[in-house]
Structure 1
Amino acid sequence: MRIDTQRRTHWADEQPRTRWIDQSSFLTRPDLRLGARCHRLDRAGGSAVDRISVRHTVRTSTAEYTLLLNAPDWLGRRGVGEALRDAVAELRAIDLTYGPNQPDSLVSKLRRGEISPESYPPLADLVDRCAAMRAATDGWFDAWAVPGGFDPGGLLGGWAVERAAARLRAAGVHDYAVLSGADLTVRGHAPHGGPWRVAVHHPTESRRAPLMLEMTAGAVGTSGVTGRRGHVVDPHTAEPADQLLAATVVGPDLAIADAYATALYAAGPAGLAWFRNGSDYRVLFAHRRR
């Protein structure tokens, strides 16, 4: 099963923030590429004279993140550097403080019953988001239905990216992209001055033309893009999910898009019902195993 629409759409706000465009109208190269073998950034177009463009990659114990900042010139190199350091520090801190594989993390302590979620407001927010996604996906995203207890891994990476992005905005950077594997969040404009141009490649058919997006705010979350079996568990049976090769979801917030993609990967076609009735999230790909 595959879903890949070419229609134009936008989120429920005053201005369109993400739109699907025809391949033929995409006259210049994309700024970002997502797909099984195409998690990369293209060097397309120049930078506006009144902007400071910065690219930085950081690794944590579980992920690699690439940050692209298109900052206003008035912020200065020093200000941009401080904004970048704040965002990177947030990514590293979340890895250490909330990673379920870190024995001294808050999540590990919560699993052992040593603390309650209310002990730390960000932990409470993380737990609340997991609970909300469990309800939104009919239990297919269930951070509690894993060995060892609570594990927010299905949305932790997206949550980390969104918190790092909030650090950028607080420092005065409102035009940026943050990429991690097959996931990304963007806001504002790319260095060439227009919307971020994103090519989302089919997860299994590399020869197919990519789905083209223009984005000024939004996120793309993917589960299973490598086709590796066993990394998502059916929470109802505790068995590895095996209906789909990959699931890709686009929407306003990366943590939620990631959680939806994880749940859709586990549920298979039954999960498509979550994206009806005016949902702000859309399915780009839901590819069934042959």
Structure 2
Amino acid sequence: MHRVEHIMGLPISLRVEDGGPGRDTARAADPVFAWLREADARFSPFLPDSEVSRLDRGELEPHELSRDLTEVLGLCERYRVESGGAFQVRLPGRGLDPCAMVKGWAVQRAAELLRAEGVTTFCLNAGGDVVAAGRPWRVGVRHPERADQLCTVLEITDGAVATSGRYERGDHILDGRTGRPATGLLSLTVVASSLTEADATATAAFAMGADGIDWAAARAGCEVFAVDAERRVFRTPGFPGAG
């Protein structure tokens, strides 16, 4: 089963190869995409009626927040502290924008919904950030300067991979310590056990610039592939190449 929908401003695809005995894999996909649409509606800063927008306008008190948003904001604060302020969801002069956390967190939860339905072998791809399970899946990382080429291919069986870069949306990742675009890296890819960790770590490390490579590599369970602004390539020893 293969299904694609456009949610959160990007294509999200789900490929299922084995739903387990007697499982309706097509039906199992319905709650996955329903959840992702719900997460977008609730947490997008671009929708005026979302919970995030209402909080940003001061219409909600902290005790009125949903458990999910409380969890997301707690994760944002954790990565802000651990990155020394480079990861930041509220910059001076800008509204609250937790998108850097929400996407990976929401897609990871979607993967957990699949597992709860007994789906064992799948690949869930959100604009190049991937959660995979059940067998080895090959994931290509786009070359940061050549859209028609890959700079590496990796293989993951049960885990997640996320890439932060400048090639799709330009200098959109800001260093929360300065408020200015992060330009020390061209791209940085993180492999971890969950997409929540992989995506947030990749974003925070990219915001830190060249220092973010060592920071990400030192995090437990994270493997890193990066290309800096000087076109130098860095790869941690455990980064899962495709062979």
Is the TM-score greater than 0.5? yes
**Is there any run of 5+ residues in structure 2 with no aligned partner, and where?**
232-243
Report the aligned-residue RMSD: 2.3
The superposition leaves residues 194-218 of structure 1 with CA deviations (integer Å, 9 ceiling, x where unpaired) of x222333433367987534332211
Q: Distance in 1 between matches of 2:61 and 2:144?
A: 39
Aligned to 1:55: 2
- What secondary structure, in the 3-state scheme, does the structure 1 residue paired with 2:69 have? helix
Instruction: Report matched runs for 1:38-53 at 5 Å.
Output: none
Question: Relative to 1, partners in 2 of residues 1:208 and 1:102: Cα closer, same or farther, differing over 3 Å?
Answer: closer
| Pairwise CA distance, 1:151 | 1.2
1:283 aligned to which of 214, 224, 229: 224
Of 222-231 and 61-70, more deviation after overlay is shown by 222-231
One-letter amino acid of the counterpart of residue 144, structure 2: P
Of 270-279 and 137-146, more deviation after overlay is shown by 270-279
**Higher RCO (CA-CA < 8 Å; seq separation 6+):** 1
Question: Relative to 1, partners in 2 of residues 1:276 and 1:287: Cα closer, same or farther, differing over 3 Å?
Answer: closer
Residues 1:67 and 2:8 are matched in the alignment? no
Q: Distance in 2 between matches of 1:271 and 1:240?
A: 14
Aligned to 1:98: 43
| Pairwise CA distance, 1:158 | 1.0
Checking the alignment, whether the CA contact within 8 Å between 2:192 and 2:221 is kept in structure 1 is yes
Aligned to 1:23: none
Checking the alignment, whether the CA contact within 8 Å between 1:245 and 1:287 is kept in structure 2 is yes
> Alignment identity in percent?
35
One-letter amino acid of the counterpart of residue 187, structure 2: A
TM-score, normalisation: structure 1: 0.72
Q: Distance in 2 between matches of 1:250 and 1:125?
A: 22
Q: Distance in 2 between matches of 1:233 and 1:202?
A: 21
One-letter amino acid of the counterpart of residue 122, structure 1: D
Structure 1 or 2, whichever has the larger Rg, is 1
**Is there any run of 5+ residues in structure 1 with no aligned partner, and where?**
1-53, 190-194
1:188 aligned to which of 134, 148, 152: 134
Question: Relative to 1, partners in 2 of residues 1:98 and 1:82: Cα closer, same or farther, differing over 3 Å?
Answer: same
Q: Distance in 1 between matches of 2:176 and 2:72?
A: 19
Question: Relative to 1, partners in 2 of residues 1:173 and 1:117: Cα closer, same or farther, differing over 3 Å?
Answer: farther
Aligned to 1:82: 27
Question: Relative to 1, partners in 2 of residues 1:60 and 1:206: Cα closer, same or farther, differing over 3 Å?
Answer: closer
The superposition leaves residues 79-126 of structure 1 with CA deviations (integer Å, 9 ceiling, x where unpaired) of 322210000101111111111111111111111122245421111111
2:138 aligned to which of 197, 200, 206: 197
The superposition leaves residues 51-73 of structure 1 with CA deviations (integer Å, 9 ceiling, x where unpaired) of xxx11001125221000112235
Residues 1:270 and 2:216 are matched in the alignment? no
Question: Relative to 1, partners in 2 of residues 1:210 and 1:241: Cα closer, same or farther, differing over 3 Å?
Answer: closer
